[in-house]
Each structure stands twice: as structure tokens, then as C-alpha cells.
Amino acid sequence: MDLKAKDLLEKLKIEHSLSTDEYEYLLANRDEELMDLAAGYAREFQKQHYGNKVYIRGLIEFTNFCRNDCIYCGIRRDNMNCERYRLSAQTIIDCANQGYELGFRTIVLQGGEDYTYSDDMLCDIISAIKSSHEDMVITLSIGERSKESYQKYYDAGARRYLLRHETANPELYRKLHPAEMSWHNRMECLKNLKEIGYQTGAGFMVESPGQTSYDLAMDLKFIEEFKPDMCGIGPFISHKDTPFANENSGTLDTTLFCLSLIRMIYPEVLLPATTALGTINPKGRELGILAGANVVMPNLSPTDVRRMYTLYDNKICTGEEAAECLGCLGSRMESIGYKIVTDPGNRAGFN
């Protein structure tokens, strides 16, 4: 193990802060021993704040129409091979009810940026779910909208919002997105969400095309400074119908190491072991939990549309990650010493 890297890790454990150069040094000098050490420290913080609990969120992917054209994404506007669908308000509400029956107390309404769903329509859906299940926490993940719209959803009862920043480097952002998309606007949205009072989730892709270890270090620094309540990260995975079809996908090890560092940077953070992690490795989500993650998000979308929400190739959607299979997920978590719990799972210390 590189001794300087070890010292930096010890410093991070105590101070929860490093310079961007120091994060880069850690990323560039990781070996198996350093990863194990980081994962051990990450689990200490995870245990301290969350015990052996793993929180579950039911993910409802309600539309794959998207006005955006992110270069990496399988449901980008220009992908003519993508079979599109939209769920009706009633189907979304039915899905949420089903989730409640299954034991979920948090659902995530996720979709492409699809303005067919007006503010009024979204607010009606949120209110309808809240009126039948007061204790259901509603998380939105529907991209960039105005602060006024975000406020309306909050007033209707939504309390969490996921909006990955994708990369903290504006120059890399420009290479991953078409010219009409703005890194500054995305950052502004994140700030607005926090100001309104949402538990706010940021996050990034690991080893996206062109990403350097300094870029990744910038993401870690951003997490340290912005302190999102939640942080969703996963490896970039190529999609055959995008301009990045032939790019290499991100690796399990870099993603696991980033998870451990994020837990050490912000011990209270809600950190999912994501579907992308479960896609690149059959044990990806268990390994994610062992690296410091404490959330999993089973798929609760109607089964007939699941295969259409293909952000990247081979996205898992019909196996044990599905919401109907909570039993299997539970046993998987038990096999590594954790247990899934149904309480809403706020970020430790959030009030």
C-alpha cells in the first residue's frame, strides 16, 4: 500500500475533508489494501449512523420520453430505436399503492424530462398518493424544472428530490451533453432544491468517457462542499444506440472505492448501491453495501414497461432487484450481515 495514500485516508477519516489534489492522489494510487482499508472505515461510519439497516426505495420509472439528449443515455431524445412509454396518473398511483402494500415507505417517481406531465398533473399525483398514505415519503427525480415548480411539488407533499450533477467539471459536462444543456443551470437547480427544504440527492457517473481521475476528485470535493443528503453514483455503462456505444464502461473497483470515500467524506449521507452497480456485477449491490452504501432501490414500475427504461445496455430489471422480490433481496442482505427495513429512512440528523 502506498504510504502517502494511507496517510491521506487516515486524515480523511478524522477531518472528512481533503484537497482536490489529495483526492486525486488517493484515486490514482489505490490498490486492494487501500480499498479494503477505506471500506472498513466506511462501514464504521455506516454502522455508527445506520447500524446494519439498509433502506429500500421503490423506483417507479413513469416515462421514458425525454427532451434532453445527453450523449451517454439510452433514452436520449435522438435515439429513434427507443420504444417510448408514458404511464397515466392512475397507473402511477396504482403502482405507489402496490409499493405501499409491499412495505415501501419511500417511492421515487423518476422519468425523463417530459413536460407532458404538467405541474398541476404532478401535484395531483403527489397529493393523491399522500392522501391515501400519509406516511409515504415521495421522492421526485424528473430533472431540471423552475424553482417555482419545485416549490409547487413540495407544497403538494414531495419531500425528496434526486438530480445527479453528473460531473463537477463544467468542461467535462460540455463533452457529455449537447450545447443547449447547462452545467450552471443544473447546479442552480440543486441549490434551489436545498433552499426549498427537500432532502436533495446529487451524484455522478464513474468513469464516463473522457473523465480523468482529477475530474472524479472534483466530484468528491463537490460532495464534501455541497453535502447532498443523498448521493447516487454508478459506473458509466455504454448503450448501443448512443454516440458512446464503443466507449469502455466504468469499473466495479473504482465505483466501490468512490462509495467508501463518499461515506468517509460525509458519514451521514444516504448512499445507494445503484442498479448500474448491480448491472456490471451480479454481486454489485452487496459489494456496494460492504463498501459503505446503505440504500437499495428496487424497481416498482409495471413489469411490461421495465425493459423500455434502458438508460444503458443490459440494465437489470426482471430479476431479484425487482420490488416483488423483496424476499430475495432481504436474504441477499442478510447473507452479508445487513437487514432491509421499511421505515422511510431520513438522512441521519435531517430535520
Query: Which residues of the chain form beta strands (DSSP E)?
Result: 53-56, 58-63, 106-111, 137-141, 158-162, 199-206, 230-235, 295-296, 339-341
Return left, alpha or beta for 103; rule: phi > 0 is left, psi -120 to 50 is alpha, else beta: left
DSSP at 78: T
Nearer to ligand FES, 85 or 214 (CB): 85
Distance CA 4, CA 55 (A): 35
CB 298 within 8 A of CB 326: yes
Q: How many residues in the shown chain lie near ligand 5AD by CB under 6 A?
A: 12
| Least distance to ligand 5AD, CB of residue 203, Å | 7
Rule CB under 6 A: say whether 183 interacts with ligand 5AD.
no
CB 209 within 8 A of CB 164: no
* Residue 319: count of CB within 10 angstroms of its CB: 11
| Least distance to ligand 5AD, CB of residue 244, Å | 7
Nearer to ligand FES, 76 or 130 (CB): 76
Nearer to ligand FES, 111 or 157 (CB): 111
CB 119 within 8 A of CB 155: no
Nearer to ligand FES, 72 or 257 (CB): 72
Rule CB under 6 A: say whether 177 interacts with ligand 5AD.
no
Answer with the entry of ligand 5AD, ligand FES, none that 66 interacts with (C-beta below 5 to 8 A by kind): ligand FES
Rule CB under 6 A: say whether 62 interacts with ligand 5AD.
no
Nearer to ligand FES, 112 or 284 (CB): 112
Q: Is 18 helix (H, G, I), strand (E, B) or coil?
A: coil
Nearer to ligand 5AD, 177 or 332 (CB): 177
Answer with the entry of ligand FES, ligand 5AD, none that 128 interacts with (C-beta below 5 to 8 A by kind): none
CB 187 within 8 A of CB 161: no
CA 270 → CA 45, 54, 266, distances in Å?
Answer: 12, 10, 9
Q: Choose, by CB under 6 A, the member of 187, 311, 333, 341 that binds ligand 5AD.
A: 311
Residues making contact with ligand FES (CB under 6 A): 66, 68, 70, 73, 75-76, 112
Binding map of ligand 5AD across residues 217-256, x = CB under 6 A, - = no contact: -----------------x-xx-x-----------------
Rule CB under 6 A: say whether 73 interacts with ligand 5AD.
yes
CB 224 within 8 A of CB 202: no
Query: Strands 339-341 and 295-296, how do they pair?
Result: unpaired
| Least distance to ligand 5AD, CB of residue 349, Å | 26
Provide the β-strand partners of residue 137: 106
Answer with the entry of ligand FES, ligand 5AD, none that 68 interacts with (C-beta below 5 to 8 A by kind): ligand FES
Nearer to ligand FES, 9 or 73 (CB): 73
Distance CA 328, CA 330 (A): 5
Task: Enter the C-alpha cell of residue 250.
Answer: 466504468
Binding site for ligand 5AD (CB under 6 A): 72-73, 164, 166, 205, 234, 236-237, 239, 276, 311-312
